Chain A
Amino acid sequence: MDFATFLIQILNGVQYGFTLFLVASGLTLIFGIMGIINLAHGAFYMVGAYLSFWLFGITESLWIAILIGLPIMIVFGYAIERLAISLLYKRDHLYQVLLSYGLILVLNEMQKILWGSDFNSVPVPDALSISIPMGNQEYPVYRLFVSLVCMVIASSMYIIISKTRLGMMIRAGATHREMTQALGINISRIFAIVFSLGAALAGFSGMIDAPLSSVYPGMGDYILIISFVVIVIGGIGSVKGAFVGAMLVGLADTFGKILLPEFSSMVIYALMALILLWRPQGLFGRPT
């Protein structure tokens, strides 16, 4: 592998890792703080991708599609949390799994009714549909842009969680939910905020990723499984863990396809198994 190819694979791995992070960070927060196993989180990624496809068809601009789609995802997440998830906080995880699996079926069916079963595409915005030379190869600027945007979002998340009062409440609620309430914090509101933002992040990931991959039925299923791998590697409930886990999975998947093509589908699971053997609670998780 020459240096240019190596560099391109690094960039691809990092970009894939960032995309995974946007989905996995919401998933890990929702599970870590609210104790909710949300199998429908991947479907939120799909909803985001289809929103960008649909809104692009109307506005002919990915930027406007994202500007309109993001608030829709926030409201969508809020509605799901209030109307469905909030009814299950005191129930066993099995109920949550059943409900969120039901949500996957409903959302997949709605997607088919609204947009059919075809594979669709969203074009890369004109201003970014260029490539930069890298050795004897070229690298698309849009991928760099996606990494940059995700980096800004990851940094904003870090600041919100580590420096703001909302972040303190989220961290406090993750460890002692009852105590947080007994100190006067409306934990239901925090849950609604976390769930809405988690849904919006997954949706945004789907929107920004749409020009890089096709928009197709059931596209959230694979990303859900990979996101669970990410949060198990990083440690459930840890955003920092989700970031490191996403980068490891992104790079392992990308290099696995190049270096071990016949085993590429196993590489990330082997990585997860190795990390769990070393740290059963994940890289940044708390021992139970």
Chain B
Amino acid sequence: MCSPILEVSGLHTHYGASHILHGINFSIKAGECISLMGRNGMGKTTTIRSIFGLTPATRGRIRVLGNDVTTLSPHSIARMGLGLVPEGRQIFPDLSVKENLTMTARPGLDGSWAWTLERVLQTFPPLAARLSNMGNQLSGGEQQILSIARALMTNPQLLVLDEATEGLAPLVRKKIWSVIQQVKETGITTIIVDKDVDTQLKVSDKSIVLVKGRVAFSGDTSELVANPDVHIQHLSV
């Protein structure tokens, strides 16, 4: 049986003296689309930062394709097939769109180039017209698309999207969700964190709900949808 793409066990993370994650456990299989949910401050972004080694775990284990990455540096973890679309986009303002896309382009772990510049530009036509523009000359929606495209250019096994539609106009949000749907259909394993819970539930196969740094629900999204108590108790604003 194949190892899960990502396996998080007993994860504890601190910010200084603040204990944020309290023994989180979950695992993700290849091809799954996971919603990581919870109200503000429940530990979603910290979980992602810990997976990528940006805020290293203080206890517990993180395995990527069966390899323990808990103590690895962020760049080594990313090179194990993880792609990140971070909160706040964080596109590089002093690089052109083309440079943003090509700087970190690399083949997947199997050596294949599923996502090339050509394919990315076909998938995201707005970027094709803006290739020579600098990152800071793009609109918020274009920057978000660029952030997703940039992560795809690393040909990841697992794509993590943290608040990919935050701060965008409704029409642009709709476009970003359609982009996420396209990415999902390519078979890339995805973790989605977003404030738009309803759309998240429509897109994802499985869901994990965090409450105060602990997993309050983990299972099929259909199960979560059928269980309004969890929904109301932990996700309603």
Interface residues of A (CB under 8 A from B): 165, 168-169, 171-172, 174-176, 178-188
A184 touching B103 in the complex, CB below 8 Å, given contacts A171-B95, A179-B90: no
Q: Which of B61-106 contact A (CB under 8 A)?
A: 73-75, 78-79, 84, 86, 90, 92-95, 99, 102-104, 106
Interchain CB contact (< 8 A) of B104 among A174, A175, A184, A188: A184
Provide the residues of chain A in CB contact with B95, threshold 8 Å: 168, 171-172
Within the complex, the shortest CB–CB distance from B140 to chain A, in Å, comes to 16
CB–CB A168/B52 < 8 A: no
Q: Select B86's contact among A168, A171, A179, beta carbons within 8 Å.
A: A179
Contacts of B12-69 to chain A: CB distance below 8 A: 52, 54
User: Would you mind naming 24 contact pairs between A and B with Cβ atoms under 8 Å apart?
Assistant: A168-B99, A168-B103, A169-B103, A171-B92, A172-B94, A172-B95, A175-B93, A176-B92, A178-B74, A180-B92, A181-B54, A181-B73, A182-B52, A182-B75, A182-B84, A182-B86, A183-B84, A183-B150, A183-B154, A184-B78, A184-B79, A184-B104, A184-B106, A186-B75
- Also in contact, A185 and B75, with CB within 8 A (given A172-B95, A175-B92, A175-B94): yes
Closest chain-A Cβ to B89's Cβ sits at a distance in Å of 9
User: 7 closest pairs, A vs B, by CB?
Assistant: A181-B74, A184-B78, A183-B104, A179-B90, A168-B103, A172-B92, A171-B94
Cα distance, A185 to B154, chains bound together (Å)? 11
User: In whole angstroms, how far apart are the Cα atoms of A176 and B94 in the complex?
Assistant: 10
Chain A residues whose C-beta falls within 8 Å of the C-beta of B75 in the assembled complex: 181-187
Give the complex CA separation of A180 and B102 in angstroms: 13
Q: Is A172 a contact of B103 with CB atoms below 8 Å?
A: yes
A68 to B55, CA, bound (A): 43
Which of A168, A171, A187 has the most chain B CB atoms inside 10 A of its CB? A168
Known: A171-B92, A172-B92. 18 other contacts (CB 8 A): A165-B103, A168-B99, A171-B95, A175-B94, A178-B90, A179-B90, A179-B92, A180-B92, A181-B73, A181-B74, A181-B75, A181-B78, A182-B52, A182-B84, A183-B103, A183-B104, A184-B106, A185-B103
Residues of B within 8 A of A (CB): 52, 54, 73-75, 78-79, 84, 86, 90, 92-95, 99, 102-104, 106, 150-151, 154
Contacts of B151 in A (CB 8 A): 183
Contact among B86, B93, B154 for A184, CB-based, below 8 A: B154
Residues of A within 8 A of B94 (CB): 171-172, 174-175
- Complex Cα distance A208/B52, Å? 45
Q: Which residues of A contact B99 (CB under 8 A)?
A: 168
Closest beta carbon of chain A to B229's beta carbon, Å:
36
State in angstroms the CA–CA spacing of A192 and B99 once bound together: 22
Q: Which residue of A lies closest to B55 (CB)?
A: A178
Q: How far is the CB of A223 from chain B (nearest CB, A)?
A: 28
- Provide the residues of chain B in CB contact with A185, threshold 8 Å: 75, 103-104
Cβ–Cβ < 8 Å partners of B104 in chain A: 183-185
Complex contacts, A169 vs chain B, CB 8 Å: 103
Which single residue of chain A is at the shortest CB-CB distance from B86? A179
Cα(A175)–Cα(B104), bound, Å: 15
Q: How far apart sit A21 and B171, CA to CA, in the bound complex (Å)?
A: 48
